[in-house]
C-alpha cells in the first residue's frame, strides 16, 4: 500500500445533520423562514418608502415611466422568485455519503498549468482523502507547464506508486485537452475533477460519490470555499459570495435536479456518460471560434442534455485559491461571464426543453427573471445617474438600498456560517456595484476571445 501523508490545514467543520424531536425539527425549519419572511417584507416596505420621493418625481416625466415601471415589475418578480427559492432552499439536504462497502471505483483528475508547489498540495489532499483502498486512483495532467509544476507532479507519482499517475503534454493545449486525456486514461466508474489550486477535505470523495447511488444522477457539484480567505480583503469578500452561490443558489437548483454549473474545482461525473459526449465537448465551437473557457458549465449542460440530473452535494467541500488583486478578479469574471452567456444560450435554446416538467418550469422561471437583471439593471443605472445630477439625494438613497439588500442576503449566509464575516458580503455589494459593472458588457462584446486570462 502506498503511504498517505497527513495534510494539516485549517478547515471548517463538515456539514453535520443533527436529528431531534419532530416538533423541534419543525420549529427549527419554520423559524428561519418566518424570520426571513418578516425581513423581506420590511426590506420591500422600507425600499419603497426610501424611493418614494424619486418615484413621485418620475411620475411627472412621461418617458421615464418606460424605465422605472418595468424596473418595479422586475423587482416584484425578483422578490417572488426569491420566495420560491427560499422555500426550496429550506427543503434541501445533502445526500448520504458513500460507505467503504458500496463506494464506486473513482478516478480523480487534476489538470495543472504553471501551478508550482500548490499542485503537490492538491495531490496530497486527494491521496489523504478517506476512500476505500483499491478503489481510488489519481491522474495528474501537466498541460505544458514552464515552471516547476512537472517536478512536483513527478515527485508525487514517485511518493504514491500505484495510486498517482502522471501525464505530461510537451506544450500547452488547454484545460479541456488536459481533462480529456484524463478522462481517456481513467479506469473508475466515477471521474472527479479537482483544480490544481484547490485542496479537498478528507471526507469530500465519499461525500461526492454518495449521490451516484441514484442511477438518474449524472453529475454532482461540490461546495467551493476560499482557501486563502484570511490572506487579503478580496478573498474574504469572495468567500461570502461563494457561500451564497453554493449553499443557497445551487442548493435550490439541486432540489429539482438541474444544477447549471458543476464547478471545475470539485465535481464528479459518471465516466460512461462522459465518454459519450467527450468528442463534441472537446471540439465545441461558438461563433466560429473554439471554446477554451467554461469547460465545467459546458460539461454540465452536456449531462443535462442526456436526460440525467445534476445535483449539489454541500457536504463535499473543496478549498480553492481566490484572486487577491482586482486585475485577477476581473480576468476570472470575464472568463465566467463569457462562458455564462454561451452556455446560457445553449441551455435555453435546446437543453431546457428536455428537462422533466417541474425542472423545466422552475428553470424557465429562474432564467427569465435572473437574465432580465442585465437590461433592467443598466437602464435603471442610467436613470439613477441622470436623476442624481438634479437630485444628489437619489445617490444617497441608492447607497442605502445597496446596503439594505446586501444585509438581507447575509441572512442566508448566516444560516450556513454563523460568522461575523457576513460584513464582507455587505462590502462586496458596494465593491461590485462600483468596480465590476463593466465586466459583463465587455464579456458580451468579446465573446469570441480565446484568451484564458488565468495569469
Spell out the domains of the chain, with CATH numbers in brackets.
Answer: 106-324 (3.90.550.10)
User: What are the φ/ψ torsions at residue 138 (nearest 5 degrees)?
Assistant: -125, 125
Series of mean pLDDT values for 10-residue runs along the chain (455 residues): 37 34 43 52 53 56 56 74 89 95 97 95 97 96 95 95 95 94 96 97 98 97 95 95 93 96 97 95 90 92 97 97 96 94 94 94 92 80 72 76 82 85 92 92 84 48
Smallest CA-to-CA distance from 106 within 267, 223, 254, 262 is with 267
3-state helix, strand, coil in the chain (%, to 5): 55, 15, 30
What is the number of other CB atoms lying within 10 angstroms of the CB of residue 65? 13
Residue 179: all three cell numbers together: 481533462
- Strands of the 266-270 sheet, one edge to the other: 164-168, 136-142, 106-112, 190-194, 266-270, 217-226, 309-320, 198-200
CA atoms within 13 A on the CB side of 236: 13
- Name 316's Cβ contacts closer than 8 Å, sequence gap at least 6: 200, 201, 203, 204, 205, 207, 208, 220, 222, 223, 266
List beta partners, residue 310. 219, 258
Please tell me the distance from the alpha carbon of residue 157 to that of residue 168, in angstroms, as a whole number. Answer: 12
Which H or E element spans position 29? Answer: helix 22-50
- Three-class SS string for 125-176? HHHCCCCCCCCEEEEEEECCCCCCHHHHHHHHHHHCCCCEEEEECCCCCCHH
What span, in angstroms and rounded, lies between the C-alpha atoms of 100 and 240?
Answer: 33
Tell me the C-alpha distance between 281 and 284, whole Å. Answer: 5
Q: Write the DSSP symbol of residue 103.
A: P
SS3 313: strand
Contact assessment for residue 277 and residue 314, using Cβ atoms and an 8 Å cutoff: no
- Cα–Cα distance, 115 to 178 (Å, whole number): 14
Residue 228: how many other CB atoms lie within 10 Å: 18
Cβ pair 208, 225 in contact under 8 A? no
Cα-to-chain-centroid distance, residue 89:
16
DSSP-derived pairing of the beta strands 285-286 and 289-290: antiparallel
Burial of 199 (0-12, 13-18, 19+ CB in 10 A): buried
Q: What's the pLDDT score for residue 410?
A: 84
Q: Give the Cα separation of 453 and 455 in Å (integer).
A: 6
Q: Residue 248: what pLDDT?
A: 92
CA distance 131 to 69: 56
- Answering whether pTM is above 0.75, one says yes
DSSP conformation class of 59? T
Amino acid at each position: 500500500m502506498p503511504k498517505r501523508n497527513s495534510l494539516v490545514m485549517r478547515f471548517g467543520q463538515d456539514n453535520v445533520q443533527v436529528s431531534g424531536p419532530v416538533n423541534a425539527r419543525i420549529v427549527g425549519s419554520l423559524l428561519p423562514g418566518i424570520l426571513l419572511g418578516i425581513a423581506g417584507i420590511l426590506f420591500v416596505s422600507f425600499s419603497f418608502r426610501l424611493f418614494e420621493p424619486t418615484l413621485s418625481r418620475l411620475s411627472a416625466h412621461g418617458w421615464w415611466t418606460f424605465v422605472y415601471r418595468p424596473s418595479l415589475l422586475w423587482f416584484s418578480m425578483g422578490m417572488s422568485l426569491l420566495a420560491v427559492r427560499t422555500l426550496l432552499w429550506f427543503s434541501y439536504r445533502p445526500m448520504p455519503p458513500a460507505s467503504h462497502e458500496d463506494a464506486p471505483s473513482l478516478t480523480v483528475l487534476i489538470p495543472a498549468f504553471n501551478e508550482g508547489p500548490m499542485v503537490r498540495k492538491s495531490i496530497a489532499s486527494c491521496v489523504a482523502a478517506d476512500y476505500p483502498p483499491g478503489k481510488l486512483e489519481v491522474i495528474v495532467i501537466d498541460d505544458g507547464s514552464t515552471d516547476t509544476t512537472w517536478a512536483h507532479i513527478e515527485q508525487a507519482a514517485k511518493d504514491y506508486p500505484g495510486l498517482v499517475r502522471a501525464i505530461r503534454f510537451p506544450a500547452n493545449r488547454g484545460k479541456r485537452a488536459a481533462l480529456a486525456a484524463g478522462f481517456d486514461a481513467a479506469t473508475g466508474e466515477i471521474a472527479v475533477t479537482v483544480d490544481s489550486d484547490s485542496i479537498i477535505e478528507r471526507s469530500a470523495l465519499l461525500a461526492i460519490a454518495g449521490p451516484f447511488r441514484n442511477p438518474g444522477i449524472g453529475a454532482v457539484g461540490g461546495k467551493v470555499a476560499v482557501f486563502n480567505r484570511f490572506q487579503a480583503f478580496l478573498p474574504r469578500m469572495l468567500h461570502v459570495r461563494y457561500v451564497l452561490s453554493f449553499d443557497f443558489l445551487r442548493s435550490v437548483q439541486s432540489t429539482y435536479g438541474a444544477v447549471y454549473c458543476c464547478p471545475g474545482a470539485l465535481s464528479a461525473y459518471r465516466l460512461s456518460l462522459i465518454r459519450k459526449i467527450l468528442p463534441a465537448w472537446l471540439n465545441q465551437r461558438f461563433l466560429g471560434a473554439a471554446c477554451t473557457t467554461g469547460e465545467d458549465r459546458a460539461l454540465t449542460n452536456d449531462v443535462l442534455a442526456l436526460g440525467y440530473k445534476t445535483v449539489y452535494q454541500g457536504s463535499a467541500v473543496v478549498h480553492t485559491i481566490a484572486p487577491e488583486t482586482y486585475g485577477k478578479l476581473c480576468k476570472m469574471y470575464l472568463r465566467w461571464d463569457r462562458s455564462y452567456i454561451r452556455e446560457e444560450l445553449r441551455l435555453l435554446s435546446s437543453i431546457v426543453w428536455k428537462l422533466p416538467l417541474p425542472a423545466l418550469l422552475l428553470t424557465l422561471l429562474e432564467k427569465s427573471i435572473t437574465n432580465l437583471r442585465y437590461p433592467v439593471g443598466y437602464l435603471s443605472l442610467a436613470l439613477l445617474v441622470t436623476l442624481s445630477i438634479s437630485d444628489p439625494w437619489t445617490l444617497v438613497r441608492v447607497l442605502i438600498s445597496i446596503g439594505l439588500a446586501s444585509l438581507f442576503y447575509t441572512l442566508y449566509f448566516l444560516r450556513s456560517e454563523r460568522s461575523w464575516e457576513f460584513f464582507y458580503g455587505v462590502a462586496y455589494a458596494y465593491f461590485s456595484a462600483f468596480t465590476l459593472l463593466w465586466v459583463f458588457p465587455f464579456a458580451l462584446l468579446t465573446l469570441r476571445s480565446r484568451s484564458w486570462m488565468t495569469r
